[in-house]
Amino acid sequence: MKIVCIGGGPAGLYFGLLMKKLNPAHDVTVVERNRPYDTFGWGVVFSDATMDNMRQWDKETADEIQEAFNHWDDIELFFKGHRIRSGGHGFVGIGRKKLLNILQARCEALDVKLVFETDADSDLDYPDADLVIASDGINSKVRTKYASVFKPDIVTRPNRYIWLGTHRLYDAFTFDFQRTEHGWFQAHIYKFDDQTATFIVECPEHVWLAHGLDKADQNDSIAFCEKLFADNLQGAKLMTNARHLRGSAWLNFQRVVCDQWWLKNENGAHVVLMGDAVHTAHFAIGSGTKLALEDAIELTRQFQRLGDSPAKIGEVLETYQSLRSVETLRLQNAAWNAMEWFEVCGARYCDQLPPEQFMYSMLTRSQRISHENLRLRDAQWLGGYERWFAERAGVKVPANMPAPPPMFTPYTLRGVTLKNRVVVSPMAQYSCVNGLPGDYHLVHLGARAMGGAGMVVAEMTCASPDARITPGCPGLWNDEQGAAWKRIVDWVHANSDAKIAMQIGHAGPKGSTNAPWQGAGADLPLETGNWPLISASAQPYSADTAVPKAMDRADMDRVKADFVAATKRAAAAGFDWLELHCAHGYLLSAFISPLTNHRKDDYGGSLENRLRWPLEVFAAVRAAWPADKPMSVRISAHDWVDGGITPNDAVAIARAFKAVGADMIDVSSGQVSPDQKPTYGRMYQTPFADRIRQEAGIATLAVGAISEADHVNAIISAGRADLCAVARPHLANPAWTLTEAAKIGYVPMPWPKQYLSGKQQMESLFAREKAAQAQAIEAAKISA
């Protein structure tokens, strides 16, 4: 085959040499516009796994790269006069020039033709090529030329960065955050050879503009950065090797992803994108080179598997695209979290979090490194952090004892202290008759109160019969219901040290429907016995549900009075905590979301207007609720529908509730519209809780796909939320919290006295399982 690679970066060079190695009969040319040593950039980082992969494909290059690597373990943070260091992170770095020179030399040894200082204008310039590799980098001309086929999706990110170098040698991957009068800058610094370290400086666009860096040339920019990071540089100079770039050397990262990766051109040659031309990965995760090298490996693997002849190219390229696009998406998603963290850290974390917690937040920014993973990397640092966290939570930890993990530290709001950070999330059971909770609820809530969580939240409970979602929903509209709830609250208090919360709500446009297992199913009207619905506007929840009445002021007064009466009954029943349900498309949520509120009066239009009545209800309820007991508000922080509530609005909503006395925001999302398109994933709503906590300055309760102690520990440790609510896992296992404590080996976990023999057995079973896993890993290592 005749193969031409346009672009001699890592992708083009590596693919060229692998194909030549696969079959020396291939005629392979790499065309590069620069001279062999003229390259932009400093060091690149990758992992041991990438090296193992490369070793299998070309031991010679892998060995040479290995030889040239700089390996380091520690991450060090410079922040507000603190230096914090943690170990076990395991990176390898190599100079980009060195890497390219190794690849170039290997290409030459294998007889790959290298053509330098040639700007390839088009794939059509190579009429006798069977395969053209467009490895021409992020600004790929080939991709642009065939944009209608490749359909690139290019997102330009808001931060500015400059890629510099220094001869000051750092012995850790170093991050330095510096505040100026206009905002925060951060430097990402890592050594990549015996004399040089990469020094990337990054800041938000508005900070960059405020400092006039858009008008600064490279020398001015370097002088600015040297002054800003003077303490860290200790007199060392910063350098650029992008002198060939004109104007400002400050760039915006561009996230590139393509729909289609290959085509057949008018010469009949196949053209395929590779490396940065088809996808990018942000330097915060440092995997762009890894992706480029792995593209080259995968394409070679498919030629080896399916046949390396012109007839097979189409099939090979199709397989390459389907495999690599999935992997790329996975990595880009992980890189996205890390990139966003650095984009918002100035506004969201730098001023809000103490240095210790800032370090934790930074280390877990991609949400791929968990709490227990940090323990594996550096148990001593994590132990110190857990001690710091526990002491701030008021726990006195004896010097010779480990601190409890953050999940098991107490939390106090107003006069109520929860023994730990786990909350059983409210879950409708649809099992009442006439709104009366019975033995079912006593057993259901009682079992979960004994299961180790700090607090159990009762399901949405309705302030009037027409406020119910289904006929099976509980109520607090009469004294009989109040007494039935009191029996449950008293039982929980007498038999456990969990707190119990009441969640009050009104179904609004989503009322008068079936329980999930009845009739036509959830969210659909009852077959008989429907009651009239009310909402912010006369808009049904879906095409299948009844049209509600748009509430008038008299309706608002009546419903508000019902909420207040229910609150008084909840207080009399002895609940420890009250939550107002303003989420999921129910009545109060229907006022807040622009998707469901189309009013033209003072209660519709702007967010301020849409919040007016929900805030009025909150204030009335707060006044009726004991001052020493907390109140939270559950909101939908994202409607997942264009034109609906966004996480940005959620911050404003949280601020508004905080201003009328809310103590905590319970951050859920969605269920406001049947058209929603949520992006599910583990802890998928936690970023909203995090943002609200930092930007609105109010405590948050994170919920949604939090299913392991490791999740809870990471969320609480990083300060993304103050509490974590866990719903579905508690349906499968009422003792979820006790189980998770045993799983992570937290032996001091208190258990109900009647269950203590179960504790010892569970702990030793998990310990045995862990030991067997460790043994299996060791055995695998030995046999490898």
- Buried-exposed string 631-646: b where 16+ CB fall within 10 A, e elsewhere: bbbbbbbbbbbeebbe
Select the residue interacting with ligand FMN from 344, 727, 735, 744 (CB under 6 A). 727
Give the one entry of ligand FMN, ligand FAD, none that residue 33 binds, where binding means its C-beta sits below a cut-off of 5 to 8 angstroms depending on kind.
ligand FAD
Interaction between residue 585 and ligand FMN (CB under 6 A): no
Only one of the segments 3-11, 80-88, 194-202, 722-730 lies at the binding site for ligand FMN (rule: CB under 6 A); that segment is 722-730
Residues in CB range of 147: below 8 A, 6 or more apart: none
One character per residue 258-277, x = contact with ligand FAD (rule: CB under 6 A): -----------------xxx
Task: Enumerate long-range contacts of 116-119, CB under 8 Å, 24 or more apart.
Answer: 116/8, 116/32, 116/34, 116/35, 116/36, 117/32, 117/33, 117/34, 117/35, 118/31, 118/32, 118/33, 119/33
CB 652 within 8 Å of CB 620: no
Closest approach of ligand FAD to the CB of residue 121, in Å: 7
586 is catalytic: yes
726 counts as binding ligand FMN under rule CB under 6 A: yes
# of chain residues touching ligand FAD (CB under 6 A): 33
Phi-psi bin for 117: left (phi > 0), alpha (psi -120 to 50), beta? left
Q: Does 287 bind ligand FAD (CB under 6 A)?
A: yes
Tell me how far, at minimum, the Cβ of 278 lies from ligand FAD, in Å: 8
Residue 281 beta carbon to ligand FAD: minimum distance, rounded to whole angstroms: 6
Please report whether residue 32 would count as binding ligand FAD according to CB under 6 A.
Answer: yes
DSSP labels, 67-112? HH-EEE--EEEEETTEEEEE----EEEEEHHHHHHHHHHHHHHTT-
Q: What is the DSSP letter of 117?
A: S
Q: Which does 459 bind (CB under 5 to 8 A by kind): ligand FAD, ligand FMN, none?
A: ligand FMN
How far apart CA 100 and CA 37 sit, in angstroms, is: 8
State residue 330 phi and psi, 5-degree precision. Answer: -60, -45
What does each C-alpha distance from 417 to 488, 629, 702, 724 come to in angstroms?
A: 20, 10, 18, 15
Q: Closer to ligand FAD at the Cβ: 42 or 381?
A: 42
b/e map 652-674, b = 16+ CB within 10 Å: bbbbbbbebebbbbbbbbbbbbe
- Binds 290: which of ligand FMN, ligand FAD, none (CB < 5-8 Å by kind): ligand FAD
Q: Which of 78, 163, 175, 320 binds ligand FAD (CB under 6 A)?
A: 163
Q: Which of 659, 238, 656, 653 is nearest to 668 (CA)?
A: 653
- In the DSSP assignment, the letter for residue 405 is P
CA contacts within 13 A on the Cβ side of 654: 30
For the bound state, the minimum distance from the C-beta of residue 16 to ligand FAD, rounded and expressed in Å, comes to 11
11 binds ligand FAD (CB under 6 A): yes
Contact positions with ligand FMN (CB under 6 A) in 437-476? 459-460
Angular region, 404: left φ>0, alpha ψ -120 to 50, beta rest: beta
Task: Work out whether 145 is an interface residue with ligand FAD (CB under 6 A).
Answer: no
C-alpha distances in Å from residue 38, one per residue of 44, 480, 647, 739, 756: 16, 83, 45, 58, 69
Ranges within 632-691 binding ligand FMN (CB under 6 A): 634, 668
| Residue 44 contact, options ligand FMN, ligand FAD, none, Cβ 5-8 Å cut-off depending on partner type | ligand FAD
Report the C-alpha gap between 197 and 77 in whole angstroms: 16
Q: Is 165 in the site for ligand FAD (CB under 6 A)?
A: no
427 binds ligand FMN (CB under 6 A): yes
Are 668 and 650 a contacting pair, CB within 8 Å? no
510: number of CA atoms within 13 Å, CB side? 26
Cβ neighbours for 274, distance < 8 A, ≥ 6 positions apart: 11, 12, 15, 133, 134, 135, 292, 295, 296, 299
Measured at the CA of 630, the angle between CA 629 and CA 632, to 5 degrees, comes to: 150
Q: What angle do CA 476, 478, 482 make, to 5 degrees?
A: 55
Which pair of structure tokens corresponds to residue 620? 């009335």
Cβ 358 to ligand FMN shortest distance, Å: 28
Closest approach of Cβ 424 to ligand FMN, in Å?
Answer: 9
CA distance 93 to 289: 11
- The site for ligand FMN, by CB under 6 A, has a size of 18
Question: Which residue of 64, 136, 356, 740 would you call a contact of ligand FAD, by CB under 6 A?
Answer: 136
Closer CB to ligand FAD, 136 or 740, in the complex: 136
Residue 229 structure tokens = 């990071």
Q: Which does 14 bind (CB under 5 to 8 A by kind): ligand FMN, ligand FAD, none?
A: none
Distance CA 358, CA 583 (A): 30
Is residue 94 near ligand FAD by the rule CB under 6 A? no
Q: Is 168 in the site for ligand FAD (CB under 6 A)?
A: no
Fill in the DSSP letter of residue 347.
I
Pick the binder of ligand FAD from 15, 21, 46, 70 (CB under 6 A).
46
Q: Which is nearer to ligand FMN, 288 or 446 (CB)?
A: 446
Closest distance between ligand FAD and the C-beta of residue 137, in Å? 3
C-alpha Rg value of the chain to the nearest Å? 30
- 325 near 261, Cβ under 8 Å? yes
Q: Does residue 581 interact with ligand FMN by CB under 6 A?
A: yes
The residue from 126, 146, 586, 603 that is catalytic is: 586
Binding window for ligand FMN (CB under 6 A); candidates: 25-33, 88-96, 221-229, 420-428: 420-428
Choices 91-99, 167-175, 478-486, 724-732; region in contact with ligand FMN by CB under 6 A: 724-732
- What does 273 interact with, of ligand FMN, ligand FAD, none (CB < 5 to 8 A by kind)? none
CA angle 769, 771, 774 (to 5 degrees): 110
Q: Give the Cα separation of 161 and 199 in Å (integer).
A: 10
Q: Which residue is nearest to ligand FMN (CB)?
A: 727
> What's the closest the beta carbon of residue 427 comes to ligand FMN, in angstroms?
4
Q: Binding to ligand FAD (CB under 6 A): which residues in 517-556? A: none
From the list ligand FAD, ligand FMN, none, pick the one residue 428 interacts with, judged by a Cβ distance below 5 to 8 Å according to partner type.
Answer: ligand FMN
Q: Report, in Å, the least distance between residue 301 CB and ligand FAD.
A: 18
Binding mask 491-520 for ligand FMN (x = CB under 6 A): ------------x-----------------
Piece in contact with ligand FMN (CB under 6 A), picked from 226-234, 708-716, 725-733, 754-762: 725-733
User: Which residues are at the interface with ligand FMN (CB under 6 A)?
Assistant: 425-428, 459-460, 503, 581, 583, 634, 668, 703-706, 726-728
Catalytic residues: 586
User: Which residues are at the interface with ligand FAD (CB under 6 A)?
Assistant: 6-12, 31-34, 41, 44-46, 119-120, 135-137, 141, 163, 200, 275-277, 283, 286-290, 292
